[in-house]
Structure 1
């Protein structure tokens, strides 16, 4: 991976029966996060992906969530929010 490379990884976020969240990625086998506190899981995604992706490509990587057009439209009240339950998020990893 060169310093100008970007990698996209999709994580899937599912609601647990206890109200917590379960996070995994089909793009990165072995990447799994789960906790009863949804806020803690969401806060852990970026730092965990930083470590996991850096080890995966053997180079320092910093990840940031990609801005989703639909999320921006929902935030601005232009369209309604999608039903809850299962969702995905895309992140980009940039060589640090």
Structure 2
């Protein structure tokens, strides 16, 4: 019985995802170096407060430069670095619509 109580009370090492409320953002394409003689681009959400996040799962209908949207997302706490991204924090989009 004690073992069950100890297991049920143990804390997880996982950091919970932070869900944000719906935010106004502009969708932009940011270029980054991906190695020798290589350039790549990522879709970025630029919020009205100036903060920016890389949106890896941006739906296809929103792949449009400078499109204003209302978006809900989870912050992942992770970043694409090196040759794989912008270095911005990655977010997972939960909902998005045109403004």
TM-score clears 0.5: no
| RCO comparison, higher one (Cα < 8 Å, 6+) | 1
- The TM-score with structure 1 as length reference comes to 0.28
Q: Between Structure 1 and Structure 2, which shows a larger proportion of strand residues?
A: 2
**Is the helix fraction higher in 1 or 2?**
1
TM-score by length of 2: 0.27
